[in-house]
């Protein structure tokens, strides 16, 4: 099987969805600019034209509203926000309209829109261009939230999101764009709401999201040489969460670490910790540890960035602590 980079797996999914369904279109700022979206949209404008690959002015609220309206009317739009930070301007069409529409219409109307947010980190981009806001969207009833960590799921989850009749927040991370692995050429689906055991183990469970899954895998390989066998779960879907997968793993290992490269307070890591304590607390052998961003804005200094963003070393330290500190 051929290998494909993460960004090109997204690109292939977009091509295949637009080829197979004329109701699918892409809209957003910078859809024809590598500076905005890398090579994820390569060749789309040339192949499908400006009526289906719509490059817009900078107006996040307006263009998201257009996409939501088109979805209500029967289209399957993909609205891209090249910097997730500025999705905040689109809270009204996302939360008040897209998330609520199906419920308010008594289930008789759907909003099959994919809202694609891209996280940019590092590179001295600072506080307004580096934010990971997945927990904000996962908080909202009516929205599904996915975060692929690898090329295979980047393609499969995007295809699943396009075919879902509900609004899906699809979040990728540009730190993953050059990561490469085997990806099937055909159309396939990665199920929304299902996590994946990346590596089985007996000593501690790590639940990771997005690029932290890659960091956790590096940590897992090194910890194995120390005799610590980690069970690594790639969460993939933040809403709905695969609770049963997490619970069964914690029952087996008795220890839990959550690695999520977003703020700690009221984040996804807090939600997972609460679910475990509420449902399988009696199986825990040690306190739960969370590896997250500190509760401060992203710095503009490259030196400070090296401290700000968690990595494999932080995960390894957390694993050693839960192994040593039994309840």
Name the residues annotated as catalytic.
60, 129
Q: Which residues pair with 197 in a beta bridge?
A: 233
CA 43 to CA 23: how far, in whole Å? 18
Does an H or E element contain 305, and which?
helix 302-308
The per-residue b/e assignment along 110-126, b for 16 or more CB within 10 angstroms, e otherwise, is bbbbbbbbbbbbeeebe
Task: Write phi, then psi, for 249 (nearest 5 degrees).
Answer: -70, -45
Buried-state track 153-163, b at ≥16 Cβ within 10 A, e below 16? bbbbbbbbbbb
DSSP state letters, 175-220: GGTT-EEE--SS---PPTT--EEEE--SSEEEEE-THHHHHHHHHH
Contact present, 201 and 240 (Cβ < 8 Å): no
Phi–psi pair at 257, nearest 5 degrees: -125, 135
What are the start-end ranges of the E strands in the chain? Answer: 3-5, 24-28, 53-55, 76-81, 114-119, 144-146, 168-173, 180-182, 196-199, 204-208, 230-234, 237-239, 256-263, 289-293
Please name the residues in contact with 49: beta carbons below 8 A apart, sequence gap of 6 or more. none
């Amino acid at each position: 099987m051929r290998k494909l980079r993460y960004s090109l797996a997204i690109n292939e999914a977009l091509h295949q969805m637009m080829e197979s369904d004329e109701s699918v279109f892409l809209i957003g700022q910078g859809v024809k600019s590598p500076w905005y979206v890398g090579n994820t949209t390569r060749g789309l404008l040339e192949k499908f034209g400006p009526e289906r690959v719509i490059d817009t002015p900078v107006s996040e609220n307006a263009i998201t509203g257009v996409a939501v309206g088109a979805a209500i009317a029967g289209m399957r739009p993909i609205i891209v926000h090249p910097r997730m930070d500025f999705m905040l301007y689109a809270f009204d069409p996302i939360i008040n309209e897209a998330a609520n529409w199906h419920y308010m219409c008594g289930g008789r109307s759907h909003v099959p829109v994919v809202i694609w947010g891209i996280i940019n980190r590092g590179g001295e981009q600072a506080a307004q261009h580096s934010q990971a806001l997945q927990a904000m969207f996962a908080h909202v009833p009516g929205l599904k939230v996915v975060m692929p960590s690898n090329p295979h799921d980047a393609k499969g989850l995007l295809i699943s999101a396009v075919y879902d009749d509900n609004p899906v927040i699809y979040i990728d991370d540009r730190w993953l764009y050059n990561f490469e692995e085997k990806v099937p050429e055909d159309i396939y689906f990665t199920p929304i709401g299902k996590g994946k055991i990346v590596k089985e183990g007996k000593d501690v469970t790590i639940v990771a999201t997005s690029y932290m899954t890659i960091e956790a895998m590096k940590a897992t390989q090194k910890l194995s040489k120390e005799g610590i066998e980690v069970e690594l779960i790639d969460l993939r879907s933040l809403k709905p969460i695969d609770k049963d997968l997490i619970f069964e793993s914690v029952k087996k290992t008795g220890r839990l670490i959550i690695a999520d490269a977003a703020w700690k307070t009221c984040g996804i890591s807090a939600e997972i910790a609460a679910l475990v304590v509420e449902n399988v607390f009696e199986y825990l052998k040690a306190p739960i540890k969370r590896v997250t961003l500190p509760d401060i804005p992203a710095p503009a200094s490259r030196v400070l960035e090296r401290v700000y963003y968690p990595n494999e070393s932080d995960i390894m330290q957390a694993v050693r602590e839960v192994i040593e500190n039994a309840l």
